[in-house]
Amino acid sequence: MKGFPVIVATMLLGFLGAACVLESQEKAAPAKYPYEVSRQVTITGRIQQERDYHCPVTGTMGSHITVKEAVGEPLEVHLAPASFLKEFEINLRTGEEAKIVGVKIDFEGKPALLARTVTVDNTTYTFRDEKGRPLW
């Protein structure tokens, strides 16, 4: 019975170490998709879809919209962690016309956009500061 506490402590340390490795991998993920202000573009289009999924861009459960410009293929737009949108009560809806300022990236072999701001009607939602740093 004396060995039981040692085994439990060893298992707990192993789980803690694994959790730290996983956490550091999640936090490292955004560096793969840097926001380069010099490459910033503005697009306008209609929101076709909103969805949340675990995203390697934010390293969290991220919020995304798909926007269709007048010409071209729909573009996936990476906004911010879903918790950020929930905290600030940001609700972007299918069918709304949106103006998005962001940086185009290649995401899983397709063009996508890292959003800095999204404007719908007369409301602008800001996800990154003027230097492209996330506000979450």
Give the per-residue pLDDT at 23.
40
Calpha distance 11→23 (Å, rounded): 18
- The answer to whether residue 10 sits within a structural domain is no
Please give the average per-residue pLDDT across 74-82, as a whole number: 97
Domain extent for 47? 33-126
pLDDT digits (tens, 9 = 90+) for 7-62: 544 444 444 444 443 343 334 344 578 899 999 999 999 999 999 999 988 889 99
Contact (CB, 8 A) for 103 and 40: yes
- The answer to whether residue 20 sits within a structural domain is no
Q: What is the CATH number of the domain that holds 105?
A: 2.40.50.140
- The answer to whether residue 11 sits within a structural domain is no
The pair of three-digit structure tokens given for residue 50, joined into one six-digit string: 């909103």
- The answer to whether residue 3 sits within a structural domain is no
Give the per-residue pLDDT at 86.
97
Quickly list H helices, the chain.
Answer: 3-28, 82-87
- The answer to whether residue 63 sits within a structural domain is yes
Please give the average per-residue pLDDT across 58-69, as a whole number: 95
Contact (CB, 8 A) for 90 and 35: no
The burial class, CB within 10 Å (0-12 / 13-18 / 19+), for 119 is middle
- The answer to whether residue 24 sits within a structural domain is no
- The answer to whether residue 71 sits within a structural domain is yes
Angle at Cα 61 formed by Cα 134 and Cα 131, nearest 5°? Answer: 10
Structural domains in the chain (count): 1
Q: By C-alpha distance, which of 54, 62, 70 is closest to 115? A: 62
Contact (CB, 8 A) for 89 and 83: no
- The answer to whether residue 16 sits within a structural domain is no
Contact (CB, 8 A) for 117 and 126: yes
